[in-house]
Copies of this chain bind each other. A is one copy, B any other.
Amino acid sequence: MTSQDADVALPAETEVALERATAAHRHQHLFSQRSANIKQSAVRDVFDVSMRPGLVSLAGGNPYLQSLPLEKIAGMAQRLIAEHGMAALQYGGGQGTEELRRAICDVMEHEGITGADPANVVITAGSQSAQDVAAKVFCNPGDVVLCEDPTYVGALNTFEAYEVQVEPVAMDEHGLIPSELQRRIEELQGEGRGIKFLYTIPSFNNPSGITLAAERRQHVVDICRKAGILVLEDNPYGLLRFDGQPLRPLRADNPDDVIYLGSFSKILAPGLRIGWALLPDHLQRSFYLANEAVTLCPPTLNQMLITTYLAEHDWLGQINTYRQLYAERCAAMLAALKEYMPDGASWTEPEGGFFVWVTLPEGVDTYPLLYDAIDAGVVFIPGAAFSPSDKPSNQLRLAFSAVPEEAIREGVRRLAPVLGKAMAGAGS
C-alpha cells in the first residue's frame, strides 16, 4: 500500500465508522421494552469453547446421535424427496401434517397419555417455539410464570422476552413441594399479581435431573386448577427413563388443565427442530393461530421424515438403546463423582434424562470457576444460568448425554481439584 492509498483509505474508514456509530445512536430509541430482557444465555457462552480439541465438555445437553440408523434415515429422506418432493418441499398446514399429529398421539400413549385427539396437537419449531407461543398467548408484561428453581435456561430466556416475572417455587429431591407451591400462589395472588401458568419439567428436570414424585403429581395440578392457573408441562425426556415404566405425565389425567409439550429433539434428532404441544380442547385454536403467526407452518420435509421414521423403524427399540446408553453414562458420572469429588460437594442421582446437578457449600460461586475449569480441560454450566434470580449460585450442571464413559470420568477427574480449591478458599 502506498502512502497515497493510506491517505485515501483512512478518512473513508473513519467515515464508515462514524456513520455506523451515528446509525446506532439514531436507532437506539427504536428498541422495544422487551428487547432489553433478551439476553445471551450462559449455555451459549460456553458453546464455542466446548469445541476446543482436548477439552471434555460436560456442558451441552446434546443427545448422542451415533446410535441412530443413519443409512436408513438417509434412505427415507432420499425417497421422500424423490417420490413425494412436491409435498415435502411445499408449504403445509399451519398446525402440522395430520399424519405426524396422529403418530405423535401414538408416541404419547407410550407415556400414558391415552385418547388424545390429533386435532389438539400443534406442531412447533422445536419445544422452544411452543414455550414462546404459550407466553405469547397468555402473558402480558408483568404477569407471573411459576417455575422450578433451577429450570431450563431456554424457557427463562423465552419468558423474559415477554417481560414476564418468572417466580421460582422451592423443590426438594422429589421435585416441586406442593405446600410451597400453594404458599407461593397465595402470596403472589394476595399481592394482586396475575399468575398465568406453572412451567414445569416434572421428569428428569433440566438442569437438576430431579423427578417429581408420582404421589405429588396430581396434587400439583389440583393446586393450580383451584387457583385458576394453567400447567405448562415440558416433557422432552419422559421416555428416557433408565429403568421401568415412564411416570404418568401430569397431562395424562388432566386433559383440561395441562398444556403438554413434547419434542423429537431427545428421542430422535434435534437438528430437525420438530416439537409439539398437546392443548386442552378449549385452548387449541388460540395456540394454533399464534403459532401460525410466528412461523406460518413447520417444515414439511422434516415432518414427513419423522412420520416415516416412526412408521418404518423400531423407534421404541431405538429409545431402549438410548435408555441403556444414558443409564450407563449416568452411572459412570455418579461413580466418578463419588471417587473424585471433594468432601462437602453433593449431587443428584437422576432416574433418567441427561443431567446431574452438583451442589457445593454455600458461599462458593460456580460462575468464575468455569474459567479455571476450562484451563483444567473441562467445561460445565454454572448454576446461575438456570435460575430467574441474578444471585450467584453454588451449583452447577454436568451433562452426561453426549460424552463416552471414559471422557466423563476424565472430565470429573479434571473438575474435582478446581472445585476443591474454591471450596478450600471459601473456608469450607
State the A residues within 8 Å of B (CB): 19-20, 22-24, 26-27, 29-35, 38-41, 44, 47, 60, 62-63, 65-66, 68, 70-71, 73-75, 77-82, 85-94, 125-126, 128-129, 132, 136-140, 143, 154, 157-158, 161, 196-197, 225, 228-230, 256-257, 265, 268-273, 280-283, 286, 289-290, 292-302
Contact = CB atoms under 8 A, between A and B. Distances in A.
20 contacts: A23-B256, A23-B282, A27-B282, A30-B230, A32-B138, A34-B140, A35-B136, A35-B138, A38-B290, A66-B86, A77-B301, A89-B269, A89-B271, A92-B271, A132-B295, A157-B293, A272-B299, A273-B298, A295-B295, A301-B302
A89 B272 contact: yes
A282 B136 contact: no
A288 to B, nearest CB: 9
A35 B296 contact: no
Contact of A85 (B68, B137, B256): B68
A129 to B, nearest CB: 5
Contacts of A286: 31, 35, 38
A295 B138 contact: no
Contacts of A293: 38, 128, 132, 154, 157-158, 161
A271 B299 contact: yes
Given A20-B281, A31-B137, A157 B272 contact: no
A196 B27 CA distance: 9
A154 B297 CA distance: 11
B81 A73 contact: yes
Contacts of A41: 292
A140 B271 contact: no
Contacts of A24: 281-282
B91 A70 contact: no
Q: How many copies of this chain are found per oligomer?
A: 2
A157 B301 CA distance: 25
Given A32-B136, A77-B78, A132-B294, 18 more contacts: A23-B280, A24-B281, A30-B230, A38-B136, A38-B293, A62-B90, A62-B91, A65-B90, A68-B85, A70-B85, A74-B80, A74-B85, A89-B270, A90-B270, A125-B273, A125-B294, A126-B295, A301-B302
A299 B143 CA distance: 31
A84 B230 CA distance: 41
Nearest to A300: B271
A75 B62 CA distance: 27
A228 B23 contact: no
A280 B138 CA distance: 32
A155 to B, nearest CB: 10
A128 B294 contact: yes
A330 to B, nearest CB: 20
A295 B68 contact: no
Contacts of A281: 20, 24
Nearest to A305: B301
Contacts of A20: 256, 280-282
Q: Which of A24, A30, A71, A289 has the most CB of B within 10 A?
A: A30
